[in-house]
Structure 1
Amino acid sequence: TEIRLVERAVLGGFEAEGPDAFGKVNSVAVLPGEDAIAVADGTVQEILLFGLDGQLIGRTGGRGGGPGEFRAVRQMSVSRDGRLEVWDVQQSRVTTFDASLELEGAHRADLEPVQAMFPEFVGFFADGGFVLRDGRSEIGMRDLPEGIRQDTVRLYAYSSTGRFEDTLAVLVDEPKWFRNRDGGWGREELIFGRELTSVVVGDEVWVGSTGTWTFTRYGAEGVVLGDVDLGVRPRPASPEEIQDERARRIDAVRVRDVRAVAIGAPVDLQDVVVRMAEAERNAIREVASNDTLPAYDLVVAGTDGPVLVREYPRPLDISVRWVVIDGAGLPLGRLTLPRDTEIKAVAPGMLVVLERDAFDAPLARILEMRGGAGTGS
């Protein structure tokens, strides 16, 4: 079923002035009970509250370490009881507000069980608890030869007060190319390499590989609850697509190192390009699964759903398809968005997407989803 998107309001953009304007949008959350949208502005570390008509209702926060202040807001979510939960990655702290942005409390996460210094924040449970993720990556590998390695990935469950609860899962990550040059480790993606994805849906964590349309559902205690299988299989990659992807990645490396030269960093551009090309050729030969394209490349979810999964785009695609499923894994339909459009928040029957206007200013659109099963219309 095709889901139609109807614009309800526009936030920000070049023409926004004064308190309505925002800079870098780090996160967005939908407060359904209040008909409001919270926007985390990473430029000033503030949270702005807008009505669904686009009018500013209130704001809070500011840069700092005190109560209700932030150093680096990374993600926001709304719990089932309507509270706004905010994760500050630099302070490893969750701050809780009510639906009108009144401060209710803040708790630092106990990171002692986590191996990484700055673990990845996966998402909030519906009760305000949350999940962190870490991997071993380059730790302890400086004496190993170059080659394909697989990290160990761990998912950790925390309570709403920041207390460590349990290790939800210990997983083997998808293969990556690890390189060792001049005593420094780095990690490169393989051509059409797979990624291990994880997203919080209600009281569960869905874990999947971008190579298939299957997700394993973990409960908050680490119990496997079952699988969600959308029944779609990835298609083979043509030799032209593999060559185009290799050329694009090599060009991206060249651009990064040209920028490094511009700021005075010592970089041998030719060496970088040759090494990258050689590593990726080896990776293609050694990983047979990469003769097919990934099934998807992004997955986002609301507090209790829906879950949106972006089909893997072809190199020249200007628009991409998203599969929409509910929190139980049942399909609701498909929708289409421009390739450069980023989904920042999901709620039943609603999306908030981020784009850039003609002046390259951030612009958020509030969109209603209509026409799909269970989308509210």
Structure 2
Amino acid sequence: MNAVTEEVFTVGSVVGDDWDTFGSVQAVGFDERANLHILDSQSARVLVVGPDGSLIRTVGGQGEGPGEFNSPGGLIVARDGSYTVTGLAQIDLLNPGGEFVRRITMDPMTTAVLRADLALPDGRLVTPMILRIGADEEAGEGRPIYALPLDGAAVQVLYTAWELPGEDEDLVDSESSSAGMVMRMSAGRAFEPPLALDMLTDGRLALVDSIGYRIKLIASDGRVTGTVERPIAPLPVDERIMEAERERYRETTASLLESGRRANLSFPVQFEREGAEELAFADEVPVIAGIKVDWEDRIWVERRGPTGDDDGPTDIVTPGGGYIGTLPPEGIQTPNAFGPGGLMAYIETDELDVQTVRVIRLVALEPEG
């Protein structure tokens, strides 16, 4: 298919004191009125932008008080315009007008430090990322997807995703001294099965944890209620694919280490990582790189390209298993957020590291040719 689109607006200033001079945009989301909510973690603010690209209001700011955010990292926008901001051991709930409703504070020694991007209809937050500091937990099989109640109840395992066996799980080693901390990272294994999830409007999770083309539909009680599959086989990993992945690893490692050097940390941290030659490989390249659910509950399925990168075509399917079509790799990409009326928002960074948020409208999907 070809996607017919039109530009709507772009926000993001290069220099100056404008409201859209972003520090670090972490997340974006639309409400049903087509307002765009932008989380800037550096300024600890949520900026609400109207359908014409003008600023409606600014919410938050760095701090500990009601309506202020402490190291915000995640944003969940409900269709009615209420939203949840997750941060370091802190969850803030705000109403559609941006007014503070309540805060849930977590003890990282006993509960969790998390970033969550999804919320079930009953209010529980969903995340695969939970860190308990100092907690001694036995490693189990699989990759847990957690549900976090907001009433003070314990974190629950909603579903345990499949995990490819055979690789050492101890990927990070560290040591500290008066001079700072050294973080040593192993190269790990390339082409691990993805763990990608998004939510349908009925509260079911669309989840990918497989090597093949399989999307599981998970109910709010953890049951698998259906699957969406297509007969597309994974690529066997050959020397050409391995060398392409080693080069991507070198580029990613250089970027990671540079970010570590540039980070303004009160406690010095030095990052070390094994070279590309130490990279291990799975036998096959997983078919799917990621998924995202749009406003109409269609699932956008990002497939991997011929060398294993996430630059393949994008399928659009329905939760019932219907196939709508495929967008070519050189066409539009899956956005960071979908909105009503075909709106799509992209967080972009230019060659000068200036962040912008570009909004386009998907007018139509047309058969190619």
Tell whether the 8 Å contact from 1:110 to 1:162 is kept in structure 2 after alignment. Answer: no
Matched with 1:54 is: 53
167-176 or 40-49, larger mean C-alpha shift: 167-176
Equivalent in the alignment of 2:359 = 366
Q: Per-residue deviation at 1:207?
A: 2.4
Deviations 1:172-203 (A, max 9, x none): 42344445898878554413232233333331
Match for 2:143 among 126, 146, 153?
153
For residues 171 and 101 of structure 2, what CA distance do their matches in structure 1 show? 48
Q: Which residue of 1 is the match for residue 124 of structure 2?
A: 129
- The alignment partner of 1:19 has SS state of coil
1:47 offset after TM fit, Å?
0.7
Decide which of 304, 309, 319 is 2:301's aligned counterpart.
Answer: 309
Give me the TM-score of the superposition, normalised by structure 2: 0.76
Could you list the runs of 5+ residues in structure 2 that have no partner in the other structure?
176-183
Deviation at 1:261, TM superposition (A): 8.7
Q: Give the drift of 1:347.
A: 2.8
Cα deviation for residue 302 of structure 1 reads 4.7
2:233 is paired with a residue whose SS is coil
Q: Is the 8 A contact 2:294 2:339 kept in 1?
A: yes
Cα contact 2:336–2:347 (8 A) shared by 1: yes
The one-letter code of the counterpart of 1:245 is E
Give the aligned residue type for 2:163: D
1:132-171 Cα shifts (integer Å, max 9, x gaps): 3357999879xxxxxxx98532223244556457432234
Map of 2:229 onto structure 1: 229
CA 257–340 in structure 1, closer or farther in 2 if over 3 Å, else same: farther
Question: What is the one-letter code of the residue matched to 2:359?
Answer: I
Q: 1:297 to 1:265 in 2, by over 3 A?
A: same
Instruction: Show the counterpart of 2:314.
Output: 322
- The structural deviation recorded for 1:60 is 0.9
Q: How many residues are matched?
A: 350
Indicate the residue corresponding to 1:107 in structure 2. 104
**Amino acid paired to 2:361:** E
Question: 1:85 offset after TM fit, Å?
Answer: 2.0
Letter in 1 for 2:39: A
Q: Does the CA contact (< 8 Å) of 1:96 and 1:106 recur in 2?
A: no
2:69 aligned with 1:70, yes or no? yes
Which residue of 1 is the match for residue 42 of structure 2? 43
- The Cα of 1:262 is off from its aligned counterpart by 9.8
Q: Is the 8 A contact 2:228 2:319 kept in 1?
A: no
Kindly tell me: are residues 54 and 179 of structure 1, through their superposed partners in 2, closer, same or farther at Cα, counting changes over 3 Å?
same
Aligned to 2:289: 297
Q: Secondary structure at the match of 2:246?
A: helix
The residue aligned with 1:219 is 219
How much does 1:95 deviate?
A: 1.5
Letter in 2 for 1:369: L
- Are the equivalent residues in 2 in contact too, given 1:13–1:357 (CA < 8 A)? no
CA gap of 1:46–1:221, structure 2 versus 1, over 3 A, is: same
The aligned residue for residue 352 of structure 1 is 345
Give how far 1:50 is off: 0.8
Aligned to 2:179: none
Change (3 A) 1:343 1:259: closer
Equivalent position of 1:89 in the other structure: 87
1:29–1:252: structure 2 CA closer, same or farther, 3 Å change rule? closer
The separation in 1 between residues aligned to 2:103 and 2:349, in whole angstroms, is 33
Secondary structure of the corresponding residue to residue 354 of structure 1? strand
Contact 2:143 2:163 in 1 (8 A): yes
Runs of 5+ in structure 1 lacking a partner?
142-148
- Tell me the percent identity: 17
Q: Which amino acid aligns with 1:86?
A: T
Secondary structure of the corresponding residue to residue 128 of structure 2: strand
Q: CA–CA distance in 2 between the matches of 1:77 and 1:6?
A: 26
Secondary structure of 2:191's counterpart equals coil
- SS of the residue corresponding to residue 232 of structure 2 reads coil
Quote how far apart the aligned CAs of 1:304 are.
6.7
* Alpha-carbon offset, residue 70 of structure 1: 1.0
